[in-house]
Structure 1
């Protein structure tokens, strides 16, 4: 079995095996004519259940044949222009090359003696990102597994920074005084993080949004003042630069002013909107982000990177000490005095992939403007999609896009029952997914079911969107017709 270990004696085996796998995937990408086959769980599960993992095939080609049957054939392909559902982007080739390299070398980014140059590359990319944000010379950060982890770490730092010099911090009673402020359309990870950090159920204050789905700063000011009057402690304000459903960007300059006035940690969740950091034309949409205390970025959303590639950035590098623990076998305290850079000193993770290499390869091949141009294209496409929806009497579209998301629903001319319209839209989404012709997402607005285009593929066209809208309308009408037949 040593022949399968990657080392100097198996380099040729490695080359042949990986090449064979790449050729299979390349062929699949070249011949995929729809984003999904429509396979159902009950159809796919028996194929996987039938595989006996204790009986290996002992042949790469045979395993790849099997993989075609249980995965590749029925995978959801984000590169297809009619995949319009979630925040999954098609990936750029330099990043995929980086993925292949980092997987083979298998560096672990927790300590210098496991990564060397990998540590310095990650640090360089952190500096590059904080410079793009404008956080200042004392900024720092670390790569994470995704936006949820980045938000968790940022709120951990905010919690710890809120504690010094205050009375009554021992035990749950102290934490019960803390409050986090976020809009009602902020990411669910804010509430999840609060729970993981031991805060009370009512610690997250959800603020109303305006017509454009942006946090109402008047409401934020009112709640901050109420918090102060009630003897509670405002721990953090989470501003969102690109909400998951609407792509809306909270008014960052106004929020920054209020955070400064009340002495509150300002966190910006820019997991989606971080692509504007590389934008050639739309960077001003996130003006004010430079005043944040911490920022979440997801390169695997709007930088066209493979999952996972994310980071949490902070204005003051010293705040990262709240995530620091020293172990004699790994990162003893003496290494700090010896100026040995151990990234585990900043991270919630210990063993950690060299995901930064993907972004490094992308920037070195394409440049920041290349990434920004792609993101600008999908933002422009969303504007065209909004015009298409606004002009189509069959659909109700919620807001004009700030980034690349469109939320809408089918409104049949002859039906007025909101619940029946809900069911028609739910049916249309499900039927579309089962057909495999396109994939769209869904959400709720005002308690009603809506559909969603998340546009992250520059290869998607207005014609693609128009065709998918026709499919949605067709499925919805089919449901309503059958519903009418059942009623009669």
Structure 2
């Protein structure tokens, strides 16, 4: 047979493009009418799981029919303006098109020689991000799969910086145990990284937080002193800029002071909150992140890139290279140094890396940075508005200071089951999709306003319904 069976003909490409345009327009125009939570027809999902793949292809039309009839009905409508369950907003408008172009180009962003334009685009994004946080002239970073990967890579760099023989000897020889510190409000990715990297959960100190859910620096200081006295080796503190439950920002400045005094690596998990630095009202609270050795960000949150797009920023790129660069014995991976380009395979764990940078770059170019400043400010304002509604409502209690965009509410006198029923009711009637939380050991309902489609009318409708249901 001539040619390959794995490309579309010109006519098929035209047909696929038309069907894609029809699908995206239909989806966009019907968002507010779609159910937020997906249908959970177990029988249909079981059939989809068990269906064998055909020996002969079904063609373009059948694929799009499957998308419309068999996939979309069982998919959460993330882009609905009242999807407020997680720190996850809908993609920006250019994202799907940038993803399609990235798939066509299919760049492997490991060596700059095979992806020069992609390399420069990723570096330009890192330059912009490190500039936002004023990390200095030696700073840089790379895009990752998400915040969890970025945090694991940061802790890897911190270990390699502390133990210069880590690559050869690991953590198994006669060293004092390394100890990592974080708060009891930190994301689970921190302890997961510690477990995967061989630090061990017994060597993670979970420091209590205060009444504003911020890490207590006095208790951190005490824990470090205790561990040193016990013959252990403190090496890293992971602070949080935007805890996932309450949106709290740890006291980064005092933590940085302590880390400098104790010679500890300071990593800040800013996957949720750090990019609120784009908003004028949050900038001062987040500028202390300039003192961090490394920062986790998530462009697939507040830059609204389609999943996946995380980022790791570091104050000193040489430390990333020291952790991740390995001399190659494979001639096909031989790199040529260039002052303006970067081999990302030497600054992170991946060799094969997708062109994630295009969708981030495309959004910043298409909409401009000012659009993201506007959206982040609006999200903060909408969350404050919801918090004010809850604080003033009979039968509801606001459980956290609305520092960023997380709003946790509790119905006094009601048990956990009643709060779960409230969530179910809101979902089933189509009002909103919120999530569960526990704050001060109380069952809560949590809204997180990180949706660029949410409006004041959506917030007011949600508040009115919450108040009405609480009265019942």
Q: TM-score, normalised by structure 1?
A: 0.89
Give the C-alpha shift of residue 50 in structure 1.
Answer: 5.5
- What SS class does the counterpart of residue 138 from structure 1 fall into? coil
CA distance in structure 2 between the aligned counterparts of 1:424 and 1:451, rounded to whole angstroms = 10
The offset of 1:142, in angstroms, is 1.1
1:89 alignment partner in structure 2: 89
Residue 346 (structure 1) aligns with: 347
Change (3 A) 1:103 1:38: closer
Q: Does 1:291 align with 2:291?
A: yes
| Alpha-carbon distance, 1:387 to partner | 0.3
CA distance 1:325–1:433, shift in 2 (3 Å): farther
Matched ranges for 1:72-471 at <5 A: 72-164=72-164, 171-172=171-172, 177-321=177-321, 322-329=323-330, 332=333, 335-336=336-337, 341-411=342-412, 416=413, 421-471=415-465
Q: Deviations over 1:345-395 (max 9, x none)?
A: 112112111111111111112222211110110011111111000001221
- Structure 1 unpaired stretches of 5+: 479-488
1:333 positional shift:
5.8
Query: Would the aligned equivalents of 2:176 and 2:233 in 1 still touch at CA under 8 Å?
Result: no
C-alpha offsets along residues 409-443 of structure 1, whole Å, 9 cap, x if unaligned? 233xxxx4xxx521100122234334444211112
Query: Are the aligned partners of 1:429 and 1:472 in contact in 2 as well (CA < 8 Å)?
Result: no
- Contact 1:38 / 1:433 at 8 angstroms: preserved in 2? no
The change in CA–CA distance for 1:229 and 1:138 in structure 2 (over 3 A counts) is: same
The Cα of 1:23 is off from its aligned counterpart by 1.4
Across the aligned residues of Structure 1 and Structure 2, the Cα RMSD in angstroms comes to 2.6
Distance 1:34 1:176, change over 3 A: farther
Residues 102/333 of structure 1: CA separation in 2 closer, same or farther (3 Å cut):
closer
Moved more, 300-309 or 169-178: 169-178
Kept in 1: contact 2:98–2:358 (CA 8 A): yes
Q: How far off is 1:450 after superposition?
A: 1.2
Q: Tell whether the 8 Å contact from 2:38 to 2:77 is kept in structure 1 after alignment.
A: no
Which residue in 1 is equivalent to 2:30?
31
8 Å contact kept, 2:406–2:446: yes
Could you tell me how far apart the structure 1 residues matched to 2:140 and 2:310 are?
Answer: 14
Residue range with higher mean Cα deviation, 148-157 or 219-228: 219-228
> 1:4-59 deviations in whole A, cap 9, x for unaligned?
645xx845533431331231132022123144255125254234135332355522
Cα distance in 2 for partners of 1:432, 1:47 equals 29
- C-alpha separation between the residues in 1 aligned to 2:49 and 2:153? 38
- What CA deviation, in whole Å up to 9, does each residue of 1:198-240 have, x standing for no partner? 1122111111111211111111121122222222111111111
Q: Partners of 1:376 and 1:241 in 2: how far apart?
A: 16
Contact 2:268-2:295 within 8 A present in 1 as well:
yes
Shift of 1:161: 1.2
Quote the residue 1:484 is aligned against: none
| In 2: Cα distance, 1:245 partner to 1:386 partner | 14
Give distance in 1, aligned partners of 2:98 and 2:38.
31
Q: Note the residue ranges of structure 2 that are not aligned, 5 or more in a row.
A: none
TM-aligned CA deviation for residue 139 of structure 1: 0.8
Other structure's SS at 1:40 match? coil
Matched-pair contact (CA < 8 Å) for 2:37–2:433: no
Distance in 1 (CA, whole Å) between partners of 2:396 and 2:147 is 32
Q: Distance in 1 between matches of 2:376 and 2:261?
A: 34
**CA distance in structure 1 between the aligned counterparts of 2:56 and 2:36, rounded to whole angstroms:** 29
Say how many residue pairs are matched: 468
1:113 deviation in Å?
3.4
User: Kindly tell me: are residues 314 and 422 of structure 1, through their superposed partners in 2, closer, same or farther at Cα, counting changes over 3 Å?
Assistant: same
**2-structure distance, mates of 1:62, 1:106:** 25
Distance 1:310 1:189 in 2: 13
Change (3 A) 1:10 1:347: farther
* C-alpha distance in structure 1 between counterparts of 2:255 and 2:41, whole Å: 45
Secondary structure class of the residue paired with 1:83: coil
State the distance in 1 between where 2:257 and 2:225 align.
Answer: 14
Q: Tell me, yes or no, if the aligned pair for 1:374 and 1:458 is still in contact at 8 Å.
A: yes
Measure, in 2, the Cα distance between the counterparts of 1:196 and 1:330: 31
Are the counterparts in 2 of residues 303 and 375 from structure 1 also a CA contact under 8 Å? no
| Cα distance in 1 for residues equivalent to 2:416 and 2:407 | 17
Separation of aligned partners in 2, 1:67 and 1:325:
43
Please, what TM-score do these two structures have when normalized by structure 2? 0.91
How far apart, in 1, do the equivalents of 2:95 and 2:9 lie? Answer: 25
